[in-house]
Structure 1
Amino acid sequence: MHDPRQLLDPEVDAAAKLRRRGYVLDTDHLSKLVSRRSSVISEGDQARAESKKAAAEVGAAAKRGEDVTELRERARELKNRITRLEEEQREVEAELHEFLLGIPNIPLDEIPDGATEEFAEEVRRVGTPPEFDFEPLDHVDLGERAGILDLGRATKLSGPRFAVFKGAGSRLQRALAQFFLDVHTGEHGYTEFSLPALVTRQTMTGTGQLPKFEEDLFRTGVADRELFLIPTAEVPLVNLHAGEILQLEDLPLRYTAHTPCFRSEAGSYGKDTRGLIRQHEFSKVELVQFVEEERSREALDEILSHAEAPLRKLGLPYRVIKLAAGDTGFSAQITFDVEVWLPSQGTYREISSASDTGTFQARRANIRGKGKDGKRAQIATLNASGLPIGRTLVAVLENNQQADGSIRIPEALVPYTGFAVINPDGSTA
């Protein structure tokens, strides 16, 4: 959550920066809320001082044997006024808090203008897309022909945008998750967590999913207890430290987890409805870092390289783009997308996003830092997909298909799958 003083600081010019991402900051309303809160706090402090003085006068007059009726009435009026002012303060602070929760992060100056991917800045391409001497199939045709993917039965069980995997398909999913976790824990120094998939409203609010994205979340309630299914492990990983003070000498903290993810995909009807690109339920390995605010931009380059590493090891061609201001996520101040090549579409599609949220999430979740000298510091959080299982499986199937209908498994993955080829009939070798 933002510091309202920063939002109103002419030198920061937050309103102009937020306009780059299509958000119009109502500075007049914000100024009135801040001014009202300041006024109420000041009046409350004055009333408490007067009340303390009145109580002392009542005591002194009583000791002298004087009539204290009027003094007591004055003291009672002051206490009633304090009660009213405290209630007014709670109301204005709640209104200010709600207003601030709806304001997205301020984009960094370095990211390009624009509202869609066409305005993104390409940073690099890695690998060469494969060339086929036959018409490549998409992952749905490849998977269903081999009997390792069944979308029809998934629809029967749960409706559209779910998937059932079988045999080598299930083994490949499990292998990808283990491979990603081994790379990130063994080579990049991340600590692995196992986490709940159901979290509270407060937890969702801490990372910025609420209140803005409520319609895109799955919500459940048991015995009048509201819980949300996580859209990404970023949510519980960041909020592990909600309300805590981190010791600066322990930073950076690097966390990872493999979890199911749930998204209603509200507003995306008809988009990528075929196959595994856009599912209501999928699994993903997530990366999160906690660093000092001054290190966040450096840490972003690092976490991006960590997200890219599995793609390099799997030999999958991809590119990295820097998103435009209007296409950057609500909580991020800068985002790099990693897009993998999909032969069936003849283009690159998003497989990971690496974002620096600056202090945005830490402020919302009340995560602070402190050095050995007792000096307080701001904490920044970063996140990246490292990687989603389903979309990576799509890329593996499509980029490694053969003319005879078989699919070759990348060499780095063979120790995890136990096979090097998926044959057209679903058998392995």
Structure 2
Amino acid sequence: MHDIRMIRENPAGFDAALARRGLPAAADALLQRDEAHRSLLTQAQTAQARRNEASKLIGQAKARKDEATAAALMAEVGALKEDLPRIEAAAAAEGEALTAALAALPNLPAAEVPDGADEADNTEQFRWGSPRAFDFDPREHADFAPALGLDFEGAAAISGTRFAALRGPMARLHRALGQFMLDRQTVSNDYVEVAPPLLVRDEAMFGTGQLPKFAEDLFRTTDGRWLIPTAEVSLTNLVRERILDPADLPLRFTALTPCFRSEAGSAGRDTRGLIRQHQFEKVELVAICTPEQSAAEHDHMLAAAEGILQALELPYRRMLLCTGDMGFSARKTFDLEVWLPGQQAYREISSVSNCGDFQARRMNARYRPEGEKGTRFLHTLNGSGLAVGRTLVAVLENYQQADGSVSVPAALIPYMGGVDRLSPAA
């Protein structure tokens, strides 16, 4: 959500920032609606004040036995009483329209974010690790992992496409990855584990920016709730409509949850394998902080996500997203892309975003600086630490062997009860 006062003060700067997102100018239309809203509010306040004043004057006129004046004032009060609800309703409607117009616009990019149209214009920051040199042709996980317990056919019979069932050691490896990630984030990186709701109301989805723009990518229940597409929704909204003490900041939350996405906007993409599923698990990272802490929290979260990849010895690269590839709520985003030898390509495994005060305004989440009477909006950040299914894909493809087995990364062996290899069923 954008601050209309900022747009009043610098409409040209606002439009210039929207242009970097590839969007047309919007300041003039917003300010016209803002002016109409404020004018109606003023009319309502003036009418209410005159009604109160006239009501007092009626008593004074009657005390003077000035029936003509009293009658005229009573008629005026009656007219105001009839007209005031119409003005107030018009003001409320104009205010709602202004809020809707502001809510439909994405966050403004940070100054250091590169301009660009799409992922081709993202900027590579650095690479970690070297892709493994295979002495055989590495395969994609969808081609060899079914023999290890990755069941697409059984899941499709139950739920349709873009679902998978994991069996035996494959299921255990998936569970081990989630537990390993959660332990790292809580023990080493100071995130507090949360077991959040998986079903949320409209207000929560609006708060983090999924609604109203991305409703088609979500699953909705018959009673009007939404299945979370990411635990970011639940974790970030834990501070909605609250005023926090800065002494308690930053807050760092993490959760391992199922996530649900209809993928309506991704038809035809990654239809094979585990890369793009309707249901998947992810360890989410969320930080709530002051504006002064925001940049440091972004660095901390990025290091927390990268630490998982390094511990699993998975080669990856860090990308700074351009203006045309950032998510709706983000002002600055880094993507981590892991090397998949089966595809001979780097694929996204984590996005780590700083949203500034954009989500906090939508949630009315604030803090009161020490020594100040007023409040300010918080900053929120979120990132994957990591997506469990995509990490499983990376482990399978990077640790695959010529005989169809998969070595277990050393960091996961304790979580596997000492099992160090997944082998095809005899």
Q: Under a length normalisation based on structure 2, what TM-score does the superposition of the two structures give?
A: 0.96
Equivalent position amino acid for 1:116 in 2: D
Judge conservation of contact 2:231–2:257 (CA < 8 Å) in 1. yes
Per mean C-alpha deviation after superposition, the further-off stretch among 135-144 and 208-217 is 135-144
Match of 2:277 in 1: 279
Judge conservation of contact 2:239–2:365 (CA < 8 Å) in 1. yes
Match of 2:84 in 1: 82
Cα deviation code 1:279-329 (max 9, x no counterpart): 011010000000101221221111111111111111111010000101010
Relative distance call for 1:294 and 1:372 in structure 2 (3 A) is closer
Judge conservation of contact 1:356–1:383 (CA < 8 Å) in 2. yes
Q: Name the CA distance, whole Å, in 1 between partners of 2:216 and 2:345.
A: 30
Following superposition, the deviation at residue 379 of structure 1 comes to 0.6
SS at match of 1:326: coil
Following superposition, the deviation at residue 11 of structure 1 comes to 7.0
SS at match of 1:75: helix
Equivalent position amino acid for 1:102 in 2: A
Equivalent position amino acid for 1:212 in 2: K
Cα deviation code 1:102-121 (max 9, x no counterpart): 01000011111112111111
Match of 1:233 in 2: 231
Match of 1:43 in 2: 43
Following superposition, the deviation at residue 394 of structure 1 comes to 0.3
Following superposition, the deviation at residue 177 of structure 1 comes to 0.9
Match of 2:403 in 1: 404
Following superposition, the deviation at residue 373 of structure 1 comes to 2.4
Following superposition, the deviation at residue 12 of structure 1 comes to 6.4
SS at match of 1:32: helix
Match of 1:389 in 2: 388
Pairing 1:10-409 to 2, within 5 Å after superposition: 10=10, 13-67=13-67, 68-146=70-148, 148-221=149-222, 225-375=223-373, 376-409=375-408
What stretches of structure 1 of length at least 5 have no aligned partner?
Answer: none
Following superposition, the deviation at residue 237 of structure 1 comes to 0.5
Judge conservation of contact 1:410–1:420 (CA < 8 Å) in 2. no
Relative distance call for 1:374 and 1:8 in structure 2 (3 A) is closer
Q: Name the CA distance, whole Å, in 2 between partners of 1:335 and 1:7.
A: 24
Cα deviation code 1:229-252 (max 9, x no counterpart): 110000011111111111111000
Relative distance call for 1:423 and 1:207 in structure 2 (3 A) is closer
Following superposition, the deviation at residue 71 of structure 1 comes to 1.5
Following superposition, the deviation at residue 423 of structure 1 comes to 3.9
Following superposition, the deviation at residue 211 of structure 1 comes to 0.7
Q: Name the CA distance, whole Å, in 1 between partners of 2:281 and 2:12.
A: 39
Judge conservation of contact 2:408–2:422 (CA < 8 Å) in 1. no
Judge conservation of contact 1:359–1:378 (CA < 8 Å) in 2. yes
Q: Name the CA distance, whole Å, in 1 between partners of 2:360 and 2:254.
A: 18
Equivalent position amino acid for 2:211 in 1: L
SS at match of 2:22: coil
Following superposition, the deviation at residue 26 of structure 1 comes to 2.4
Relative distance call for 1:298 and 1:82 in structure 2 (3 A) is same
What is the Cα-based RMSD across aligned positions, in Å? Answer: 1.4
Following superposition, the deviation at residue 424 of structure 1 comes to 2.9
Q: Name the CA distance, whole Å, in 2 between partners of 1:265 and 1:11.
A: 35
Following superposition, the deviation at residue 378 of structure 1 comes to 2.5
Judge conservation of contact 1:219–1:229 (CA < 8 Å) in 2. yes
Judge conservation of contact 1:6–1:12 (CA < 8 Å) in 2. no
Q: Name the CA distance, whole Å, in 2 between partners of 1:109 and 1:324.
A: 11
Cα deviation code 1:173-225 (max 9, x no counterpart): 1111111110011011111111111111111000000011011111112xxx3
Relative distance call for 1:330 and 1:137 in structure 2 (3 A) is same
Q: Name the CA distance, whole Å, in 2 between partners of 1:318 and 1:126.
A: 5
Judge conservation of contact 1:168–1:426 (CA < 8 Å) in 2. no
Equivalent position amino acid for 2:155 in 1: A
Following superposition, the deviation at residue 69 of structure 1 comes to 2.1
Following superposition, the deviation at residue 335 of structure 1 comes to 0.3
Aligned length: 423
What stretches of structure 2 of length at least 5 have no aligned partner?
Answer: none
Quick one: percent identity of the two aligned structures? 47
Cα deviation code 1:359-403 (max 9, x no counterpart): 000000110111342442321000000011100000011101122
- Counterpart check, 1:414 vs 2:417: no
SS at match of 2:305: helix
Equivalent position amino acid for 1:151 in 2: F
Equivalent position amino acid for 1:71 in 2: L
Following superposition, the deviation at residue 419 of structure 1 comes to 3.5
Q: Name the CA distance, whole Å, in 2 between partners of 1:322 and 1:247.
A: 32
